[in-house]
Structure 1
Amino acid sequence: MKLFQCQHCGQTLYFENVRCLRCNHTLGYLSPLNRMAAVEPDGSVWRILPNNGAAPDTQRWRFCRNWEVSACNWMIPVDEHSGEDAEFCPACAHNRTIPDLSNPENLARWQKIEVAKRRLLYTILRLNLPCPLPGSDHPEPLVFDFLADDPKGGAKVITGHADGLITIALNEADDVQREKMRQDLNEVYRTLLGHFRHEVGHYYWDILVRDGGDCESFRILFGDERADYRAALDRHYEKGPPVGWKDSYVSSYATMHPWEDWAETWAHYLHIVDTLETAAALGMQIEPEIDEHHELTADVNFNPYQGLNADRLISAWVPLTVALNTLNRSMGQSDLYPFGLPERVRQKLSYIHNLIKKHSLNK
């Protein structure tokens, strides 16, 4: 995720900002332009404030409908010719079900979920991956259900993916419950954004591997996905990961089944490109080799979304995670990235990288 700047006053902006802390103007994210902009009302719509000395922008915009409940800051260009205006932005248009917002707890948790989802969609759009909307003619559009547990004590909502539908349990937005589940399942890492990245990995297995005709090449690295999933799940929770799993997998859960190995590795690929873009925006210098003074340094001065090979990404990522973990330890915190990337995992990351490039809509 890159940093943004208020074009009116020059203040540094973050992706989630809704108001500039310096000039107090309303902010919106313009996804077609990949920019945050200070805007002001113009009748029933909004106009972008001009840069100093620049001519006024004639394009008018509307906020996503979910902006009204503080759950989105994306804007939609007004189509003055057709007279048809979308209600939802390119991120929120993928929602199928949201919880009962009359419940304040549901609203607060859903707002947190939407923050993570927008970060996911930012990355997907930056990677130029196919992202079909519900109602399109695509046989498997990307759809989200955000569901709360039955207050009467019925079945619990399970986060997961099936045929393009990604379900996120509202409880995952509760920090206390999520941490309890992390400890109960003996996981080293569990975040709301991580769930989105993992589950969308299952979706893109369908789109890129299954529908893309790449099952055979997938099986060489990840294994045969035709293995019984239920049996693999039971075996994993009964016996745990196999001995020596760290030599070939990015996480213990990845050992469970080839689909989960793919989804875990996919999630880490999205971790890498998003965080490297942030590092580049911050001007971080972390050389991926030991320099003449025997120190680990690197200069993340590239755009991870633009046509680089996977080795370049990984060679910058590894020392960056060393730096992040060291900083966390200096603050008395656990490692921010508690994972290793053995050679086999790097090969899997390269496979995903090349598959994304192959299927990019702007290749």
Structure 2
Amino acid sequence: MNRKRKLSIALLIVTVALSLLYWCHQRIEHFADKPLNIEQETLFKLPAGTGRVGLEELLVRDKLIYSGRWFPWLLRLEPELAGFKAGTYRFTPGMTVRQMLKLLASGKEAQLSARFIEGSRLRDWLQQLQEAKYVKQTLTGKSEAELVLALGLPEGSSLEGRFYPDTYLYTAGTSDLALLKRAHARMDKILQEVWLARDVSQPYKTPEQLLIMASIVEKETGVAEERTKVASVFINRLRLGMRLQTDPTVIYGMGESYTGNISRKDLDTATPYNTYVISGLPPTPIAMPGRASLEAAANPAKTDYLYFVADGNGGHTFTTNLTSHNQAVRTYRQVQKEKNEK
């Protein structure tokens, strides 16, 4: 074979090799730019110690990619994508394989959220945490006394009302105890701020008493502009030595026996929380109050109101004497009757 023929064959081989290399590169690029096979946000857990082969198997198993044929070649071509970190990540529709690998390499885990609403109780929080899929469960089956110790609080501490209702962000694997500690520290901070800014003429001896009042206000109204007036009613009653006579405290004292209605017998049955029977504030908060209720309890409106009743339209009618209150009750019942007849 002459030299010219050998050169031609060599050039042909090089051309074929370059063409194949180009084709492979194009296939790899196409694979890298292909969107993941998802139509909605998806949480993906990458276990610790997972290598390249393991990740490929997980992606194929979960049908996030159809085939892993080009996966190892992409990691060789772009080695910076191979430094993925263990964790739980949020994949979004339209995210490409390359974007997914960049996310795994960044270590930016999915931010999950737990929302605890104002007026909820400790038992509600514990149930919500127990049902949270990505929260590490460490408190299941623990009594309140055991929970107090787990939180590092003095023995005998009451936990009701001591956690601030809000939305808390966390990453998968965060423990239920860690979330409660954050909410407890937040309530301590906000309660202290509100206590220092309170109207010092109010009849509170401790921040705990203010917290108890705020929890009652929280349960009595969801109307923002009414909170300070509701607080004023209870403050005025305290100052006159009148019982608070607030239904939410009765309900709290009934515990699991409450089924949605309060009877006359319930109002007359003594419990530590039945403010139709006891004088003054109940022994602990009855719910988790938000900041608005805390501030209303700390700085109530200056009124002569001693009574309030629902007006049938989402708010309340406030009155200064029993005669006017009874009339407001009759009006409320009439409104309810008319609504039921429609």
TM class by shorter chain equals under 0.3
State the structure with bigger RCO (CA 8 A, min sep 6), 1 or 2: 2
Higher helix share: 2
TM-score, length-normalised on structure 2? 0.24
Which one has the largest radius of gyration? 2
